[in-house]
């Protein structure tokens, strides 16, 4: 009986301790999120304050019959999949190379981080000038090497604009994969490889039977993180093409941004943002579930 | 750890804020006027004007903030919607319908009635800047009219005359588009079209002068008439069919068209006096200017304006108007134009010894026009026109589809 008050105290203490953090999270994450959701059911055009008000599902109905929503959605898929696949492959090769012993390995490991630590704005401006159709470095090189005769306006035609930006983003993000995978590689005990070698395993067998399974947790988490980040990123697109030419580089975040800050239509823009969130949540939960399943199996 | 840092930061900021509030209350005699502005040229400064004003008006302090042009309109509208606009800001005519509809602006009629400088501002400017409700919200600041830049040396070399009609223009542009070093690749393009955001002025020069109009005299759309669609097609053909503009046209913005002019990649383009000093520094006498060519139904060029507006939310309206009026007085306005490279709105600043760029500007005055006073203009300029034009340049949509989409935007 005498220990009961003590029990109560310890029950409250954890809540008291997490309250400040929780309050901040609510204030800076949940409130804006809630507002976005409310806006998505409202007509809210910044310069028409008189018309502001709830309109139910109208914005969602508009979105589903909006061809631009569907083309932005498919661009978003192309964007996510191509970037993640190539960043992962490039990152894996880099990690395997950096895991070997060679002179200058320390320097190489730091240098590889440069694209990742360069601010997006600088990355975007740099690539924009390299792609430039009149004076750009890439055109100069291709033309000097005799591969092209006339300069290619990479960012001015919709057939090449998206691909060009994707290449820039792959360059920017692959070091993250490289460094995370390298950390994973170094955690694999050397003994496993030694034992396998004694058993007569080939290099390929070592890679697929030891390296890949041991790296799996790292691979799965990094891919998950990158998918979310890449899906949301729009700074590089905005600076390199602003979503153009035409609507060819409009992904959902870009479309949502353009609607909000160029069209001042915060209602419809919020709807697009909510739809992207739902989509990401479906992908992420599906992904996590399949991971859990495969681990059970 | 991160959260601890975050909390500390928040507390510190809050603390600083409270301290700042306290300081402000103490010095309650000083009125602070928050002013937003933008200049194309990053090297220009406002300090001499601010110092002069503060010396002449003790007790008023100008807190000037320079906002990048790319995000200016967006920042201003969000600041207004958020309830914390600046006291005075540099504004454009085509934002006026939105700002008035938001109730953001302070009508200045009473102030202007008592202001000595009002008669020194051109009557035409008062007329253009008055809102459709009959009130004057804008204080004139500068004006600029778009004209045609051309390479006088290339014209001489090929024996060409400055084009006065659009047919002459096309002919000249074709002749100027050429391979200068004999490798079979075009080195110089006749005309630099701005295909990215801001290029609607290039489009307007040829399309609004040849039968297209946003609204006719009855207020109906005049964008999808056969003449309007043909005029738009003619403009699209400059790039698609005649190829007198560089292949990069759909993505070329202000930086690119100026760089192409400077490097000799293009032989003509359209812009205003604001860029003259910059291009002239590279090209010298090789650069000249003339009014834009005439369309099939007359001439149209863009009247580029800048005004100052006082915001309704201001707590210091008298001081705010003083600053806006100060900048519109002849002596100070001349100083401002030195930084902006544009044209003064004061009659007494009209100079006799006009250079060729100023001459091209004033020669264009009779037919300079503005976009309609419609809240949809802003989105048209910022995102709709560039997207449609780029699609049309690529052949993804027809001239009719483009004009129809613009009409839909303005009539919905």
* B171-199 residue pLDDT tens: 999 999 999 888 888 999 999 999 998 89
Residues of B in contact with A157 (CB under 8 A): 247, 250, 394
Name which of A133, A123, A137, A227 is nearest A165 in CA terms: A123
Contact assignment for A24 to B7 by CB distance below 8 Å? yes
Q: Tell me how far apart the alpha carbons of residues A131 and B70 are, in angstroms, rounded to a whole number.
A: 21
Q: Tell me how far apart the alpha carbons of residues A176 and A90 are, in angstroms, rounded to a whole number.
A: 10
Contact assignment for B386 to A241 by CB distance below 8 Å? no
Q: Counting beta carbons within 10 angstroms of the beta carbon of residue B406, is it exposed (0 to 12), middle (13 to 18) or buried (19 or more)?
A: buried
- Report the pLDDT value the prediction gives residue A7, as an integer from 0 to 100: 53
Name which of B268, B255, B270, B264 is nearest B283 in CA terms: B264
The two structure tokens encoding residue B260: 């192409």
Contact assignment for A134 to B184 by CB distance below 8 Å? no
Contact assignment for B98 to A243 by CB distance below 8 Å? no
Handedness of CA A131, A137, A143, A149 (dihedral sign): positive
- Residue B26: CB atoms within 10 A of its CB come to 9
Tally the C-alpha atoms within 13 A of residue B194's C-alpha that lie toward its C-beta.
23
Contact assignment for A241 to B251 by CB distance below 8 Å? yes
| Mean pLDDT, rounded, for B298-327 | 92
B18 pLDDT band (50/70/90 cuts)? Answer: very low
| Mean pLDDT, rounded, for A102-131 | 91
- Report the pLDDT value the prediction gives residue A3, as an integer from 0 to 100: 52
At residue A124, does pLDDT exceed 80? yes
pTM, rounded to two decimals: 0.83
**Looking at domain B30-145+304-358, which of 3.30.420.40, 3.40.190.10, 2.60.40.10, 3.40.50.300 is its CATH number?**
3.40.190.10
CATH class of B147-301+361-411: alpha beta
Q: Tell me how far apart the alpha carbons of residues A261 and B33 are, in angstroms, rounded to a whole number.
A: 26
Name which of B357, B172, B206 is nearest B294 in CA terms: B206
Residues of A in contact with B74 (CB under 8 A): 261-262, 264
Contact assignment for B247 to A153 by CB distance below 8 Å? yes
- Report the pLDDT value the prediction gives residue A2, as an integer from 0 to 100: 47
Contact assignment for A246 to B74 by CB distance below 8 Å? no
Q: Does B7 touch chain A (CB under 8 A)?
A: yes
| Element housing B65 (H / E) | strand B60-66
Q: How far apart are the first and last CA of chain B?
A: 53
Residues of A in contact with B377 (CB under 8 A): none
Residues of A in contact with B99 (CB under 8 A): 47
Q: Give A54 to chain B, closest Cα distance, Å.
A: 18
Residue partners of B93: CB distance under 8 A and separation at least 6: B128, B129, B138, B305, B307, B370, B371, B373
Lowest mean pLDDT among B43-47, B361-365, B385-389: B43-47
Place of tokens 């990152």: A91
| Mean pLDDT, rounded, for B301-319 | 91
Q: Does B9 touch chain A (CB under 8 A)?
A: no
The two structure tokens encoding residue B105: 């602006």
Q: Give per-residue pLDDT as tens, B41-64.
A: 656 668 888 989 999 999 999 998
| Phi–psi pair at B350, nearest 5 degrees | -65, 125
Same fold, B30-145+304-358 and B147-301+361-411: yes
Place of tokens 């396998």: A196
Q: Give B302 to chain A, closest Cα distance, Å.
A: 21
- In B, residues 35-94, which contact A (CB 8 Å cutoff)? 71, 74, 77-78, 81
B17 pLDDT band (50/70/90 cuts)? Answer: very low
Q: Tell me how far apart the alpha carbons of residues B103 and B99 are, in angstroms, rounded to a whole number.
A: 6
At residue B20, does pLDDT exceed 80? no
At residue B261, does pLDDT exceed 90? yes
Contact assignment for B251 to A24 by CB distance below 8 Å? no
The two structure tokens encoding residue B139: 């204080």
| Mean pLDDT, rounded, for A70-98 | 93
Lowest mean pLDDT among A115-129, A244-258, A281-295: A281-295
| Mean pLDDT, rounded, for A175-184 | 92
Residues of B in contact with A268 (CB under 8 A): none
Q: Do B412 and B375 touch, CB atoms closer than 8 A?
A: no
At residue B23, does pLDDT exceed 50? no
- Residue B201: CB atoms within 10 A of its CB come to 21
Contact assignment for B3 to A24 by CB distance below 8 Å? yes
At residue B165, does pLDDT exceed 90? yes
Contact assignment for A264 to B378 by CB distance below 8 Å? yes
Q: Chain A residue closest to B385 (CA)?
A: A246
Q: Tell me how far apart the alpha carbons of residues B40 and A52 are, in angstroms, rounded to a whole number.
A: 35
Q: Tell me how far apart the alpha carbons of residues A116 and A121 are, in angstroms, rounded to a whole number.
A: 12
- Report the pLDDT value the prediction gives residue B159, as an integer from 0 to 100: 92
Segments making up each domain of chain B, as ranges: 30-145+304-358, 147-301+361-411
At residue A295, does pLDDT exceed 80? no
Residues of A in contact with B3 (CB under 8 A): 20-21, 24
Q: Give per-residue pLDDT as tens, A224-242.
A: 989 989 998 889 999 999 8
Q: Give B38 to chain A, closest Cα distance, Å.
A: 18
Nearest to A156 among B74, B103, B250 (CB): B250
Looking at chain A, the whole-number percentage of residues with pLDDT higher than 70 is 96
The two structure tokens encoding residue B127: 């007329």
The vertex-B249 CA angle with B403 and B369, nearest 5°, equals 50
- Report the pLDDT value the prediction gives residue B40, as an integer from 0 to 100: 67
- Report the pLDDT value the prediction gives residue A274, as an integer from 0 to 100: 94
Q: Counting beta carbons within 10 angstroms of the beta carbon of residue B83, is it exposed (0 to 12), middle (13 to 18) or buried (19 or more)?
A: exposed
Q: Does B185 touch chain A (CB under 8 A)?
A: yes
- Report the pLDDT value the prediction gives residue A297, as an integer from 0 to 100: 60
Name which of B238, B175, B160 is nearest B203 in CA terms: B238
Average pLDDT value over all residues in chain B: 87
At residue B303, does pLDDT exceed 50? yes
Average pLDDT value over all residues in chain A: 88
Q: Tell me how far apart the alpha carbons of residues A185 and A194 are, in angstroms, rounded to a whole number.
A: 15
Q: Do B145 and B368 touch, CB atoms closer than 8 A?
A: yes
The torsion region of residue B194 among left (phi > 0), alpha (psi -120 to 50) and beta comes to beta
At residue A192, does pLDDT exceed 60? yes
- Report the pLDDT value the prediction gives residue B19, as an integer from 0 to 100: 46
- Report the pLDDT value the prediction gives residue B144, as an integer from 0 to 100: 85
Residues of A in contact with B379 (CB under 8 A): 262-264
| Mean pLDDT, rounded, for A74-85 | 94
Q: Name the packing angle between helices A120-131 and A158-186 (round to 10°).
A: 130
Nearest to B251 among A21, A47, A244 (CB): A244
The torsion region of residue A242 among left (phi > 0), alpha (psi -120 to 50) and beta comes to left
- In B, residues 100-119, which contact A (CB 8 Å cutoff)? 101-103
Q: Tell me how far apart the alpha carbons of residues B403 and B394 are, in angstroms, rounded to a whole number.
A: 15
Q: Chain A residue closest to B251 (CA)?
A: A156
Q: Give A155 to chain B, closest Cα distance, Å.
A: 7
Contact assignment for A264 to B98 by CB distance below 8 Å? yes
Nearest to A262 among B247, B250, B382 (CB): B382
Q: Give per-residue pLDDT as tens, A28-37.
A: 999 999 999 9
Contact assignment for B393 to A245 by CB distance below 8 Å? yes
- Report the pLDDT value the prediction gives residue B359, as an integer from 0 to 100: 86
- Report the pLDDT value the prediction gives residue A202, as an integer from 0 to 100: 84
Residues of A in contact with B374 (CB under 8 A): none
**For testing the chain B interface, which of A18, A48, A153, A262 should be mutated: the one with the most B CBs within 10 Å?**
A262
Looking at chain B, the whole-number percentage of residues with pLDDT higher than 70 is 91
Nearest to A247 among B71, B265, B387 (CB): B387
Contact assignment for B185 to A242 by CB distance below 8 Å? no
């Amino acid at each position: 009986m005498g220990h009961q008050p003590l029990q109560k105290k310890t029950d409250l203490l954890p809540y008291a301790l997490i309250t400040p953090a929780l309050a901040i999270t609510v204030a800076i994450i949940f409130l804006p999120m809630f507002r976005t959701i409310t806006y998505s059911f409202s007509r809210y055009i910044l310069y028409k304050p008189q018309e502001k008000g709830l309109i139910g599902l109208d914005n969602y109905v508009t979105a589903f019959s909006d061809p631009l929503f569907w083309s932005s959605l498919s661009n978003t898929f192309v964007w996510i999949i191509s970037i993640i696949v190539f960043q992962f492959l490039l990152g894996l090769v880099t990690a395997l190379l950096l895991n070997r012993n060679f002179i200058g390995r320390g320097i190489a490991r730091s240098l590889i981080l440069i694209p990742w630590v360069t601010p997006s704005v600088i990355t975007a401006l740099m690539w924009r000038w390299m792609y430039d159709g009149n004076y750009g470095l890439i055109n100069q090189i291709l033309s000097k090497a005799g591969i092209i005769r006339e300069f290619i306006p990479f960012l001015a035609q919709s057939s090449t604009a998206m691909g060009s930006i994707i290449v820039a983003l792959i360059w920017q993000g692959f070091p993250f994969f490289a460094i995370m995978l390298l950390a994973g590689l170094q955690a694999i005990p050397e003994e496993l490889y030694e034992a396998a070698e004694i058993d007569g395993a080939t290099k390929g067998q070592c890679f697929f039977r030891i390296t890949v399974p041991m790296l799996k947790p790292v691979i799965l988490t990094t891919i998950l993180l990158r998918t979310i980040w890449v899906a949301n990123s729009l700074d590089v697109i905005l600076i390199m093409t602003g979503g153009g030419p035409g609507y060819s580089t409009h992904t959902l975040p870009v479309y949502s941004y353009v609607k909000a800050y160029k069209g001042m239509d915060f209602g419809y823009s919020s709807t697009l943002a909510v739809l992207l969130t739902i989509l990401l949540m479906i992908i992420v939960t599906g992904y996590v579930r399949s991971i859990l399943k495969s681990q059970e199996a | 750890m991160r959260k601890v840092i975050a909390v500390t930061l928040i507390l510190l900021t809050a603390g600083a804020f409270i301290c700042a509030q306290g300081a402000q209350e103490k010095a309650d005699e000083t009125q602070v006027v928050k002013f937003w502005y933008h200049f194309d040229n990053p090297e220009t400064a406002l300090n001499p004007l601010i110092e002069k004003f503060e010396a002449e008006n003790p007790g008023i302090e100008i807190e000037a903030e320079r906002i990048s042009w790319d995000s200016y309109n967006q920042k201003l509208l969000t600041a207004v919607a958020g309830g914390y606009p600046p006291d005075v800001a540099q504004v454009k005519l085509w934002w006026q319908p939105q700002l008035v509809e938001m109730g953001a602006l302070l009508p200045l009629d009473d102030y202007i009635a008592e202001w000595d400088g009002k008669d020194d501002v051109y009557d035409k400017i008062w007329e253009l800047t008055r809102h459709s409700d009959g009130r004057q919200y804008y204080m004139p600041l500068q004006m600029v009219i778009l004209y045609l830049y051309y390479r006088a040396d290339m014209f001489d070399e090929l024996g060409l005359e400055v084009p006065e009609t659009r047919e002459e223009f096309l002919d000249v542009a074709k002749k100027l588009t050429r391979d200068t070093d004999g490798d079979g690749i075009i080195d110089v393009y006749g005309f630099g079209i701005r295909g990215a955001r801001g290029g609607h002025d290039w489009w307007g020069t040829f399309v609004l002068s040849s039968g297209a109009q946003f609204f006719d005299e009855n207020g109906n759309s005049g964008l999808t008439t056969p003449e309007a669609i043909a005029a738009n097609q003619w403009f699209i053909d400059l790039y698609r069919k005649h190829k007198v503009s560089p292949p990069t046209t759909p993505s070329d913005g202000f930086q690119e068209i100026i760089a192409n002019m400077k490097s000799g990649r293009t032989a003509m383009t359209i812009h205003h006096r604001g860029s003259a000093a910059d291009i002239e520094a590279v090209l010298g006498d090789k650069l000249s200017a003339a009014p834009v060519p005439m369309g099939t139904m007359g001439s149209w060029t863009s009247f580029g304006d800048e005004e100052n507006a006082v915001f309704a939310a201001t707590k210091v309206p008298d001081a705010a108007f003083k600053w806006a009026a100060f900048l519109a007085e002849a002596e100070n306005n001349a100083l401002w134009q030195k930084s902006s490279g544009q044209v003064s709105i004061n009659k007494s600043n009209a100079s006799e010894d006009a250079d060729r760029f100023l001459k091209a500007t004033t020669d264009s005055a009779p037919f300079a026009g503005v976009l309609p006073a419609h809240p949809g203009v802003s989105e048209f300029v910022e995102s709709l026109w560039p997207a449609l034009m780029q699609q049309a340049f690529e052949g993804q949509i027809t001239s009719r589809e483009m004009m129809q989409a613009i009409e839909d935007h303005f009539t919905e």
